[in-house]
Copies of this chain bind each other. A is one copy, B any other.
Amino acid sequence: MGRDAGDEGGSAVTPSAEFPPLRPEEVDRLGRIGQRWRGPRPSDGLPVDPTLDRYRGRPAAGRSGRLTPIEMFAVAPPEPAVAPPEQGGAPAGELIAGEPANLPRSRPVRALTRLRRAVVGPPLRSSAVLYERMRKLVALPVLSSDLLSSVAYGPEAMLSVLVLAGGGALGLSLPLAAALVVLMIAVGISYRQTIPAYPHGAGSYLVASDNLGAGAGLTAAAGLMLDYVLTVAVSVAAGVHAVTSALPGLAPFTVPLGVLVIVVLLAGNLRGVRTAGNIFVLPTYAFVVAVLALLVAGWLRAAGRGFAPVAPPPVPAAEGLGLLLVLRAFASGAVSMTGIEAVSNAVPAFRPVEWRNARTTLGWMVTMLVVLFAGLTGLIHLDGLVPRPEETMLSQLGRLTFPTGPWYALIQAATALILLLAANTAFNDFPRLLYFMARDGHAPRRFLHMGDRLAFSNGLLALSVAATTVFVVFGGHTASLIPLYAVGVFLAFTLSQAGMVVHWRRRPGPGSRRRLGLNALGATLSGLVLLTAATAKFAEGAWLIVVAVPLLVLLFHRIHRHYATLHRALELRPPPVGPAPAGPAEGEELPQQVRHLVVVPVARLNRASLRALAYAASLGQPTLAVHIAPEEAEADRFREQWRAWGSHVRLETIVSPYRAVIGPLAHYLEALHAVGPELTLTVIVPEVVLRRRWHRPLHSRAEQRLRAALRPLPQVVVTSVPVHLVG
């Protein structure tokens, strides 16, 4: 349960995180508990060889003939006899589950599994986890697709707000863009300070929890989670918009197209494409080249007319031009910076010296962002373009600059592709974030589990469901999603950089004062943008985030509390000193303290109940059979049958004049427990295994109902003896 973010393996992802090691004091307690254990000694004379070794190579058909289960296990070759067993390397005769051992038994589920494997590929061994290191020229496109793709919708988001105050207000885009450039550089420099300080990965969640405490970390995590969901929704929406701008005929299919894209991304990530960085290289560079070409051609054209701006077409004002509107435009433009944090998360993926290479890459990225963002905003101003809902501004610019030919198609295709990759970034980061949170007990532990393909399948599914929901609810409309977007991102930025301020104050050293200042500047500016975005766009949708973040934080806290309670309850405790007490035993773990009473509820005497009785009797513990009768007459009849059988087990009959069965039985067991609180009651019920699902309503499922009724009782163990309908 302890956090180990500062450890060497703090940001490494391993399949064994589901099985955390015991702490040294727990191992010590284990030993002391073990010394008091007085069970039967482990008999070398087990009735079968558990290693199955003797039977290796001899296929034995299962009873059902469907599977030869022994063949599903490989047996590691025994060590040479001279080596002491179980020391170094695989011990003698260790079993290794083969791939078919993963197939479920039931036929329909197996068919589904096979279908899934056809889509996502065969399972991968844990040893296939790759810790791939990236060269800078590969890292750049992989990590910058999210950031650079933002310029495809960022400037437009800003202008869409300004144009509400009429065409004249569009001129304000230049000072706003200048302010945003300053912000980009400041945040970029601030993140440059973070990288060397957290060479094992500096996600906002880790940095904020480390320096500001768990609350801040969880707040950053909540912001990031919403950010990732929105990254997928916004990038897919903008990508589809890029396509429909080029091919207006597809516009009515925006929502199904977007959902299809998310499904494809999910399938790809379930296959585990995330290590295949190479597919990122081409689209990202193509996008950069295409937009740079656009900028050069556009600015040359503008130079030809002496940089005289074309007057935008007159647009009637829908709102007055006030401070609020300008702030809204600024906050909308700030979404161009989403993705700037990508490098700091991924420091360990660089080649050594990791932090230096990462920092250089970050510098390149921010430079490229500034060039693209400023260039595009300026060019849009010079060409007098106005946002139109049916066509993106990048597309308008493309058509204006390259009226015909392949350049326009290239721009649109590269834009759509880079946006797809940006969405994919969230598919990498969201499950990783959940993994770290789950490791700390702040998220359900199932997010620790790596699926068949070594992907965090549960996290991927959660992201896809959330993003699809958001995308569909907002009709795949980029402009409606933007107001929600900035809040989560800048929340994480602010907390991460504020955390760095604390970090530098705690660790004074050479240059730490300057770094502190730079981080403080970044934090302050990010905080201002956060405030602006949350307030100015509150009514337009930001309220959703303002409400969701605290709710998520509360949820994370509750989850943590539950796991902490669970952990405390299950944790190994030092055994009491002195002889073992004979009192209530649920807390105890010693076999010599268990006092048995076996209880067999019998409704009627047939092969199922006789099987349960035989099983109970074969355990050799005191046994009691209980029969619930609806009427006195039936009770008499049953006792007669019992005597005919030979009364081999003590029978207690309870008349239930109200005909209920489960309730009286559960309460009777409770009464037995009250009378003998030191006893462990083992309730043995036969369970008829039905072959068809539709047969279930034909049975009262008394076994399941009894199990549910007995679950809250202390020290009541329930044993199901299956009876299969064969023969």
Contact = CB atoms under 8 A, between A and B. Distances in A.
A47 B589 contact: no
Interface residues of A, number: 183
A589 B610 CA distance: 6
B671 A615 contact: no
A508 to B, nearest CB: 39
A125 B655 CA distance: 11
Interface stretch (A222-230, A271-279, A569-577): A569-577
Name the 4 nearest CB pairs between A and B, nearest first: A34-B646, A39-B617, A97-B664, A594-B618
Nearest to A711: B689
29 contacts: A16-B629, A16-B631, A30-B605, A31-B644, A31-B645, A31-B646, A33-B610, A37-B646, A43-B622, A46-B624, A50-B652, A50-B672, A52-B672, A52-B675, A61-B674, A69-B667, A70-B675, A94-B654, A96-B654, A97-B628, A97-B657, A100-B667, A104-B709, A127-B631, A444-B698, A445-B698, A587-B727, A590-B614, A593-B614
Interface in A606-625: 606-608, 610-611, 613-615, 617-624
Interface in A647-666: 647-650, 652-660, 662-664, 666
Given A40-B620, A72-B667, A96-B654, 16 more contacts: A16-B631, A31-B645, A46-B597, A73-B654, A97-B658, A97-B660, A97-B663, A444-B698, A452-B659, A562-B698, A565-B725, A570-B688, A589-B607, A591-B613, A596-B619, A719-B719
A648 B725 contact: no
B569 A632 contact: no
Contacts of A302: none
A42 B647 contact: yes
Nearest to A586: B724
A565 B677 CA distance: 42
Given A570-B607, A607-B572, A659-B450, A711 B722 contact: yes
Q: Is the interface of A mostly helix, strand, loop or mixed?
A: mixed
A708 to B, nearest CB: 8
A268 interface: no
Given A631-B126, A654-B73, A60 B618 contact: no
A397 to B, nearest CB: 48
B594 A72 contact: no
Nearest to A45: B622
A480 interface: no
Interface in A109-137: 123-127
B635 A94 contact: yes
A595 interface: yes
Nearest to A68: B674
A615 B594 contact: yes
